[in-house]
Amino acid sequence: MSDITTSITGRAGRITLRRPKALNAVTYEMVKAIDTALEDWRNDDAVSLVVIDAEGDKAFSAGGDIAELYATGKAGDYDFGRTFWRDEYRMNARLAEYEKPIVSFLQGFTMGGGMGVGCHVSHRVVGETSQIAMPECGIGLVPDVGGSMILANAPGHLGAYLGTTGARMGPADAILAGFADLYIPQETWPDLIATLETSGDTACLDQARVTPPQGRLEALRPEIDSHFAAPDLPALLASLRASDTDFASETLKSLSRASPLSLACTLDMMRALKGNTNIRDALALEYRFTFRAMEHGDFLEGIRAAIIDKDRSPNWRHDPDRLPSSAVAAMLAPLGDNELTF
């Protein structure tokens, strides 16, 4: 069975992720298939809109398929990862800039590379099982696939909190932070998709939307904004350590599991992209980090500890309290001829 299917049904271009046993993790072949379908349908008058969904109950897509990235990187081949990320980011930009409506249905986990497929489109639907997150710092990356742009433009300092801790967002929180648009009970999704295919019109979505159950982030915003306004990682950690609240304790625990280099670069990216809604700028900045992530960052060690050996004891390159600013600047510096282009 193919990992992905693309077809035209009625007035809709249909993209379905079909790796439920792998939580629909996005492979390089899936990236290329999505990009090709979007290009084919761009000027096809038979296609009025695009619907993206996924098989299985557990996940729309829990991320990118990192097994091959790790294997090639450990062998000293950094080109496969750089090519994967380059083409994936170009696909993310195409989704965000597409001339026709695209509707995504985001059940279960939507994380990392899955967020890049489902959360840049014009109509992002979440339901009662939806859990969206950007947990990249925990494996030595930064929030990428355009996620840095959404995070940087979340209310207050929510983006810095979500991007560094990898905290999961239920439906209300995902809408608050800018990762989703509509809460619609999942039992109605099949009928909605059938209506979209028949009509080629997104009006049915607004008619079906309801108010989501209350989230957790709104109540935490004052505390999040107080701590995450810190100018850098050491100041953020000092602020949290000086607080005796449950939130501060839980947040410190989350940050202690992540790569200090990734955390510091994420905080820098949040400041650099605040107010910028051009996804190409965000993707280009992300690519500077991911281009270097295997050779100069913590990515391979992060994957080893989390996925390969599963010892959850990564040996990060830096101490969070003594991380030189030059290391952060080096990861985000321009790439010259290797800069991401579109």
Q: How remote is the C-alpha of 202 from its chain's centroid?
A: 24
Q: Return the SS3 of 57.
A: coil
55 part of the active site: no
- Long-range contacts of 291-294, Cβ-Cβ distance < 8 Å, separation of 24 or more: 291/82, 291/85, 291/335, 291/338, 292/330, 292/331, 293/81, 293/140, 293/141, 294/69, 294/73, 294/78, 294/81
Contact 104, 125 (CB under 8 A): yes
Catalytic residue among 113, 114, 140, 302: 113
Contact 141, 66 (CB under 8 A): no
Catalytic residue among 53, 144, 173, 298: 144
Structure tokens at 77: 């081949």
Catalytic residue among 13, 64, 138, 159: 64
Strand 182-183 to 123-126 pairing: parallel
Scanning the structure block, which residue is given the tokens 């991380």?
Answer: 323
113 part of the active site: yes
Radius of gyration, CA atoms only, the chain? 19
Catalytic residue among 136, 181, 197, 286: 136
The dihedral through the CA atoms of 254, 259, 261, 267 has a sign that is negative
At 270, give phi and psi (nearest 5°).
Answer: -60, -45
Which residues participate in catalysis according to the annotation? 64, 113, 136, 144
